[in-house]
Every structure is written in C-alpha cells, then in structure tokens.
Amino acid sequence: MTWQTLLLGLGLCLLLLCVALSLALGSRTVPLSTVIEAALGRRTGAGPDAQVVTGLRLPRTVLGLVVGAALGVAGAVAQGVTRNPLASPTTLGVNAGASFAVVTAIYALHLSRPVEYVWFAVAGAGLAGLAAQVTARRAGGLDPTRLALGGTVLTAVLASWTSALMLASRRTLDEARFWLAGSLDGRGLEVLVPVWPLLLAGLALAVAVAPALNALALGEETAQALGVPVSRIRTAAALAVVLLAAGAVAAAGPVAFVGLAAPHLVRSLLGGDQRWLVPGCALAGPILLLAADVLGRLVARPSELEAGVVTAFLGAPLLAVLARRAAR
C-alpha cells in the first residue's frame, strides 16, 4: 500500500518536473525568471519571451498533459479488457479511423490547419472504435479476443487506405504526414474544446470499471461469480478506450506508443492491480509525452522533432530494459 503511494508521489514529482521543463526549454532561450513570472501570470503579454511561454509553451504543455493522461489510461483499460499485452488504444481501430478521416478531409476538402481536423478526427475515431466493437459483439456481450482481432484488422484496412490516399495525392501526403506523426506543436488549446466532454466521460468510465476489470482478470466465470456484470463492464471499458483515444488523437494526432508502453511500464513498477494502474498510467502517459516533446525541441534545434516520433525513441529502450528485468 505505502510503497505504491510513494511511487505515485514520485511519479507526480517527475511529472511536475516535466511540466517545468516543458515551460522552460525550447528552441528560443528564455531566461528562467521570465518563465516563472510568465507562468505565474505576471507581466502577461510583456515582451516576446513571455509571449513564447504563455502563448506557445503553456498550451502545448497543457495539451501534453491531457493527451498523455488520456492515452495512458486508455492503454491500461484496453489491455485490461482484452487481456492481451499487445493491445493498446490503437488496437481498437481508433487511431486508424481518425487518420483516415483526417486524410480524407484533407484530400477532399483541402483543409490545412490542425484545428480544422479535430471534428473529422473525432468522427473517424468514434466510428472506427464502434465498428470494431460491433464485430466483437457476441451473444449480447463483447468477446475480448474478437475485439482485439477485429480492431487490428480494421486498423490494417484503414491504415492501408490512408496510405493509398496519400500516394494518390501528393498534396495530401504533404499536408497529412506532419499531422500523422503526432505532435503537440501548433495545435493551440482550442483543439481541446470539442474533446473535453469525451475525455471526461472516458476517464470517469475508466475509473468506474477498474475494480471490475481486476475481477475479470481472474477469468470470466470467477468474475461472474463475484457479481461482476461481465458483458456490461466490457462494453463500458471498450467505450472508455474509444472516448479517451478519440479525444487524444483528435487533439494531438495519432501518437501510438504512449498507450502501449505506459501500462507496461507502470505494471512493472506497481503491479497489475487496475486500481493502481489507472492513476499510474495517468501520470506515466504525460511524463512520457512531455519528456518526448521537450526532447524533440532540444535535439533538432532550431527545428523540432514530432513528439509522436520521439515518444517511441524514448519509450522503446525503456520498455526493452524493463521487460528484460522483469522476472518472467
């Protein structure tokens, strides 16, 4: 009990550090005093340095926090409900749906600003997520294996169509590839406006089903005997994943690796209890994403690397090392 709280506390400290770094570091060198004053709301709008902090870095950091937490929690729930370590929010077809919708919109409607993509991403993600659930419906409940398989198949199909569209139109490829890499840059806080309700609903559902997912980990029959309404819990959990992941992908583009890696990282530290996994992933997700974002700003100065790309570079060795250390 205590050591888990301790680890969560440590995680919180680490997250705060990431937030601070995200505000302080970037391609433009801003004196620390200015960062602190601007972040605290003093001298707002005074000088270009403060403008960078409040106008660019602050929204970006908030976005990283929200998206990272959403992806982390979605990953924890996705692996919990499918009981498959290979599962992630991506597995349910959400990212592929959003990508396809956005690329189609760029192709057909000639959109060019991430803010304009949001609604298409939400719609595409939601539709694909629901479609994956429809394929997995079985005798009134969700079959977890088929949910994972159906979602993966759907992802493969949508991803290949997305590629086909981009190959058919050079302009689409040029516009879409930056969005598809997943980035916190240049989004602005207005992308969060339409997705807030989704994220909050998803988070509430995820927290609510956590104890029941613990029971489900013991097997369907045991869960039933413990009074868990198995099919309803599965549906609710899958819905939570879709809501969270749809919100995240709409805001930041398809960042794939956070949702996959965060639960594994947290599990190796806190154990498999879903009630610890959810808050743990809510911390680990943004830590990973913000750290990646900060790193992406630093390594390629004065240019930047997309956070979606750097997350994988950062998280992959971490995952490999942790897997190596894990007992089995």
Partner 1 sequence: MNRRTVLCCLAAAVLLPALTATALSLGQVAMSPATALRALFGFGQGGDVLVVREFRAPRVLAALIAGGALAVSGRLLQRLFRNPLASPDVIGVTGGASFGAVLLLALGASQLMIPLAALGGGLVAAGLLGGFAWRSRAAVGRLVLVGLAVQAGLAAAVNLMIVRFPAELASSALQWTTGSLYGRTWTEVRAGGTAVAVLLVAALLLDRRAAVLDLGDESAGGLGLRPDRARLQILLLAIALASLAAALSGPVGFVALAVPHLVRLLAGPPTPGTLLLTALTGALLLLGADVLVLHLLPLRGLPVGAATATLGAPWLLFLLTRHDRSAP
Binding site for partner 1 (CB under 8 A): 84-87, 91, 135, 138, 143, 145-146, 148-150, 152-154, 156-157, 159-161, 163-164, 166-168, 170, 173-174, 177-178, 180-181, 256-257, 260-261, 264, 305-306, 308-313, 315-324, 326, 328
Smallest gap from residue 308 Cβ to partner 1 (A): 7
Collect all residues with Cβ–Cβ distance below 8 Å to 115 and sequence separation of at least 6: 187, 188, 190, 191
Q: 174 or 190, CB closer to partner 1?
A: 174
Q: In whole angstroms, what is the distance from residue 90 CA to residue 259 CA?
A: 8
Q: 207 or 309, CB closer to partner 1?
A: 309
Q: 30 or 257, CB closer to partner 1?
A: 257
Smallest gap from residue 22 Cβ to partner 1 (A): 20
Distance of CA 48 to the CA centre of its chain: 31
Question: How many Cβ atoms sit within 10 Å of the Cβ of residue 13?
Answer: 11
Smallest gap from residue 31 Cβ to partner 1 (A): 31
Smallest gap from residue 180 Cβ to partner 1 (A): 8
Smallest gap from residue 165 Cβ to partner 1 (A): 9
Distance of CA 232 to the CA centre of its chain: 24
Q: In whole angstroms, what is the distance from residue 129 CA to residue 112 CA?
A: 25
Say whether the peptide bond before residue 48 is cis (omega within 30 degrees of 0).
no
Collect all residues with Cβ–Cβ distance below 8 Å to 91 and sequence separation of at least 6: 78, 82, 84, 148, 151, 152, 155
Q: 146 or 275, CB closer to partner 1?
A: 146
Q: 54 or 257, CB closer to partner 1?
A: 257
Smallest gap from residue 135 Cβ to partner 1 (A): 6
Smallest gap from residue 136 Cβ to partner 1 (A): 9
Q: In whole angstroms, what is the distance from residue 303 CA to residue 114 CA?
A: 19
- The two structure tokens encoding residue 268: 């190796």
Q: 152 or 235, CB closer to partner 1?
A: 152
Residue 230: CA count within 13 A, CB half-sphere: 20
Residue 265: CA count within 13 A, CB half-sphere: 28
Q: In whole angstroms, what is the distance from residue 23 CA to residue 15 CA?
A: 12
Q: 156 or 204, CB closer to partner 1?
A: 156
Q: In whole angstroms, what is the distance from residue 190 CA to residue 115 CA?
A: 7
Q: Which residue reads 């301790």 in tokens?
A: 6
* Under 8 Å between Cβ of 73 and 285: yes
CA 285-286-289 angle, to 5 degrees, is: 90
Q: 226 or 322, CB closer to partner 1?
A: 322
Smallest gap from residue 314 Cβ to partner 1 (A): 9
